Chains A and B, each alone.
Chain A
Amino acid sequence: MTAEVLLQGIVSGLLMGFVYALIAAGLSLIFGLMEIVNFAHGEFLMLAMFSTYWAWALWRLDPVVSLPLTAAALFLLGFATYQGLIRWVLGAPMLAQIFATFGLAIFLRSAAQAIWGVDFHLVKDPLVQGRISLAGLFIGLPQLMASVGALLAFVFLNWFISRTETGLALRATAQDRQAASLMGIDTERMFALGWGIGAACVGVAGALLTIFFYVFPDVGASFALLAYVTVALGGFGNVPGTLVAGVVVGLIEVLGGLLIAPALKYVAVFVLYLLVVLWRPQGLFGRF
């Protein structure tokens, strides 16, 4: 293997890493708020990709153009999920919470299959296409677009939760539910908002992925698995930590594929995750 191939791999791993980070950030935000892992996160991503695809197929809206619509639609989905399902299991044991979102995942996935079938769809001729060559390295423009878009969304999310008043209220709720409500914060509203924002992150990521990725009902599964590992690696509830973890996961995936075997790239990611939690059970940046 030449250094060129390796470098090429590192670049594409880095680019994917930012998308992984954005997907995981939504998960992490929700967990930080109420200690619930959304096991339907991959299905949210799948729905975002389908909505992007249909916006293109029906109205010829390019993924980049329909992105705000997708984000808004996913925000509503997250909001509705909280109001219709999560709110009712807040006080339930952890297992019941796990299965509430698992049930939702199975439901959404089979609903997608029932409505749209199991075929693979692809947006043809998107606005952003082609590739550029940079110092001998080729970078696909769709991937670059997705990566930059994900990074921008991440920066925006971070600004929102650390600089705005609503963001501060969100973080206060995450830190201490009771104290926050004593300070006059409507924690119920914050929970719903958290689900909305968490899902909207996936909406942005899904729209960006659809530029170059196939859309089908099971598409969320592998992304979701990586997202769980990313969140746990970064430390549950630590949103900036997921950015580093996402990049690490993206890099290990590519390097594992290149250096060990393409079929074992996810194994490399999972083994790395187990090694990290063996050394730091709370993840890289987490607190217990």
Chain B
Amino acid sequence: MPRPLTFTAGLVALALLLTFPLVFTLPYPRDVMIRIFLYATLATAWNVLAGYCGQISLGHAVFFGTGAYTSTVLVKSLGLTPWAGMLAGAALAVALSQVIGYPVFRLRGHYFAIATIAVGEIVQTFMINWDWVGGARGLFIPIDRTGSLLAFQFRDKQVYYYIALGLLLLALWVTRRIERSRTGYYFRAIREDQDAAASLGIPVARYKQRAMAVSAALTALGGTFYAQYILFIDPESVLPLSLSILICLIAVLGGVGTLWGPLIGAAILVPLGEATRIYLGGTGKAIDLLIYGFLIMVISVVQPGGIMALAQRGRRRTG
């Protein structure tokens, strides 16, 4: 596609997304869209570290939980607005990511992936046993129905919709900026061959930490948004291994290492999850998960590069 055309298509898509809540006024379709935006944001954030820099993290729930817990604890103990809590959460996630990164970035391949699982399990177990932050019972976010923008709580899903869309656009913008910068080239060089990158003078460790910091910060923003949207958090909902897996699954389905892959993955997987849950869930038989697991297997066999790879191949064939 020539450039002006993509630009126009992007504008049209954005206009459609902006008008969506005006057309669909029922809570349910808005809720599905909000969750698409949220998971697309998380997968985009994960993609910076795993897709571009090649470090496959299976513990990103840690940063999501950091964002959710930081803003919630701050609003409960100090009455701080969740917007400030959101920034604090992102800052804490960055700090945490640097601490975690120091040992785990010495590892490669599967060793790295398993170490990130271990970190995720450590953090989740700690939070389950830390009573001051609610332990296993979790935390309720204090209800504030003043409707003030500062309170970050709204009766109307429309406001959440625009905030989630804003987060997604931020994540995409950051990714695009990185993609075209020297840093982006360094990331990809590390992904393709770490030793070769090092031999060309790229400070590998420092750039891995950078990718981790960006990824952690964006993920934490999503965590705070989730806490304010659901108004209840516990270790089982914001820190589980299954969330870490879901985040990468979305990116893998769409296509890792591509700008639009995570969004495409979320736009497919979130509604699909909803549909199977509605039609097949609730029987206690886990039929929805059965199909979900089967689909994952099929995708990894048939389309290991994700949907973006399919699109690119199609484009190459026609062009």
Give A contacts to B, CB under 8 Å. 31, 35, 37, 85, 88-89, 92-100, 102-111, 113-114, 117-118, 225, 228-229, 232, 236, 261, 263-264, 266-267, 270-271, 273-274, 277-278, 281-283, 288
Contact = CB atoms under 8 A, between A and B. Distances in A.
B293 A277 contact: no
Most buried by A among B122, B128, B249: B122
Interface stretch (B60-68, B112-120, B162-170): B112-120
Contact of A278 (B106, B286, B305): B106
Contact of A102 (B110, B287, B296): B296
Nearest to B296: A103
A103 B103 contact: no
Contacts of A117: 284
26 contacts: A37-B113, A85-B297, A92-B300, A95-B50, A95-B252, A96-B305, A97-B300, A98-B58, A99-B252, A99-B297, A99-B299, A99-B300, A100-B301, A102-B249, A103-B293, A108-B293, A111-B290, A229-B114, A229-B118, A232-B114, A236-B110, A266-B121, A267-B126, A271-B122, A274-B103, A288-B108
Given A35-B110, A88-B301, 5 more contacts: A97-B300, A105-B293, A109-B289, A229-B118, A264-B129
B52 to A, nearest CB: 13
Contact of A100 (B119, B284, B287, B300): B300
A131 to B, nearest CB: 30
Interface size class of B (residues with CB under 8 A): 35 or more
Contacts of A281: 106-108, 111
B297 A232 contact: no
Contacts of B316: none
B35 to A, nearest CB: 20
A82 to B, nearest CB: 13
A106 B296 contact: yes
A104 B285 contact: no
Contact of A107 (B126, B129, B294): B294
